[in-house]
Amino acid sequence: VKRRERSVAEYVEGVLSNDRTILAQAITLVESNAAKHMEMAQQILNALLPHVGKSIRIGITGVPGAGKSTFIEAFGKFLCENGHRVAVLAVDPSSSITGGSILGDKTRMENLSRDPRAFIRPSPSGGTLGGVHRKTRETMLLCEAAGYDVILIETVGVGQSEFVVRSMVDFFMLLALTGAGDELQGMKKGIMELTDAVVINKADGDNKPKALAAKEEYNQFLHYLRPATPGWETKAYTCSALLGEGIPEIWQVVEQFVETTKKSGVFEMRRRNQLKDWIYSMIKDYLETSFFSHPQIKEKLPIIENNVISGTLSVTKAVQELLQIYENKKASE
Ligand code: GDP
């Protein structure tokens, strides 16, 4: 049986009263690429705008196996028990590239997902990372309007996804393991420069002394990096997501971060800059998609590319020709 379609007003009311079924359906609309759904989703979002922005947005990254889902389950449970409402979202870098999933669609965070104070939404599938970016951001806004006051956004630290998540959160943490030395080399430095806290997980049993040593190593390293957030010193901490040890302390760090950055104005400034960046990245995304999906560009691009490679056409001239084709088509539309 085809469900009767809800009106915009019904969606708005349902989200504001935290009707979880309606919230989930509103997110499905936001995630849809169909023009009709997109139009409706934008009407809903516009009506909800006065109710968004009142949460603390936290990004969590780490390699597969670092313990992200175990940590989020323990952290989320702790927050729920302390009067918060927690929404968990994911940005899965693989879904846009391979169609598969690194974060996994297996039932994760089973305990937390049964808690009525928590809302877990898996990664939106399909589309470019830019498309996933929009969907995750808008899903976050819907969750805020529904009254979730802590938003956790999980991603695997590969490729561009951690930059995308950094661009939509207030606080960004790296979940790390012992053996800091290996991680500190190479690409990890890039992630370190985005982080407000390095949390060394699995600090339990035989692993505890190693975790504490890793904490020192990280702290020494972090000391020489420019902090991700002006006026905030990024430090390393340890915890055991499995045993729940160190979890309240991590929340204290987040609270302190929020207090410090709100006082200094950095919190609001970052949010404003994120909104501006969002506008520009959406424009770039739109233009890029529109350009490369243009039939005449698709036809001419390989030919022009060949001319450049064979040395009969300069790159600048080639690009000018392509843009000419694109703009002429636009004008004749
Ligand atoms: P993810 O891939 O980053 O989401 O990692 P998972 O949360 O799935 O954890 C990977 C493995 O590490 C699982 O077998 C967990 O039980 C284990 N694990 C996670 N956190 C801890 C911890 O604090 N201590 C110990 N000993 N094991 C942990």
Residue nearest atom 27 in ligand 1 by C-alpha distance: 202
Q: Identify the CATH number of the domain defined by range 52-264.
A: 3.40.50.300
- What is residue 92's predicted lDDT score, i.e. its pLDDT? 75
| Residue 270 burial (C-beta neighbours within 10 Å; 0-12, 13-18, 19+) | middle
> Ligand 1: distance of its center to the CA of 66 in Å?
6
Q: Which residue has the tokens 């389950």?
A: 73
The pLDDT of residue 100 is: 54
What pLDDT sits at residue 157?
67
Give the pLDDT of the chain (333 residues) as one tens digit per residue: 566 789 999 999 999 999 999 999 999 999 988 889 989 999 999 999 999 999 999 999 988 888 999 999 999 999 999 999 999 998 876 655 455 555 555 457 888 989 999 999 987 766 666 677 888 999 999 999 999 999 999 988 666 788 889 999 999 999 998 765 555 555 467 788 899 999 999 999 999 999 999 999 899 989 888 899 999 999 999 999 999 999 999 999 999 999 999 999 999 999 999 999 989 988 988 898 889 989 999 999 999 999 999 999 999 999 999 999 999 876 666
Q: Please give the Cα distance from 116 to 175 (Å, whole number).
A: 26
Domain 1-50 and domain 52-264 have a common topology: no
CA of 273 to the centre of ligand 1 (A): 35
- Residue with CA closest to ligand 1 atom 20: 67
Å from CA of 60 to ligand 1 middle: 14
For ligand 1, what atom is nearest to the CA of residue 72?
Answer: 7
Residue 253 CA, distance from chain mean position: 20
Which residues have CB under 8 Å from 184's CB, separation 6+?
A: 192, 217, 218, 221
Q: How far is the CA of 176 from the centre of ligand 1 (A)?
A: 11
Quote the pLDDT of residue 94.
62
- pLDDT value at position 149? 98
pLDDT score at 248 = 98
Name the residue ranges covered by the structural domains of the chain: 1-50, 52-264, 294-332
pLDDT at 64: 83
CA of 134 to the centre of ligand 1 (A): 29
Q: Give the binding-site residues of ligand 1, using a 6 Å CB cut-off.
A: 62, 64-70, 201-202, 204, 240-242
Is 1-50 a CATH 3.40.50.970 domain? no
**pLDDT value, residue 107:** 57
* pLDDT value at residue 273: 97
How would you classify residue 170: left for phi > 0, otherwise alpha for psi between -120 and 50, otherwise beta? Answer: alpha
Confidence (pLDDT) at 204: 95
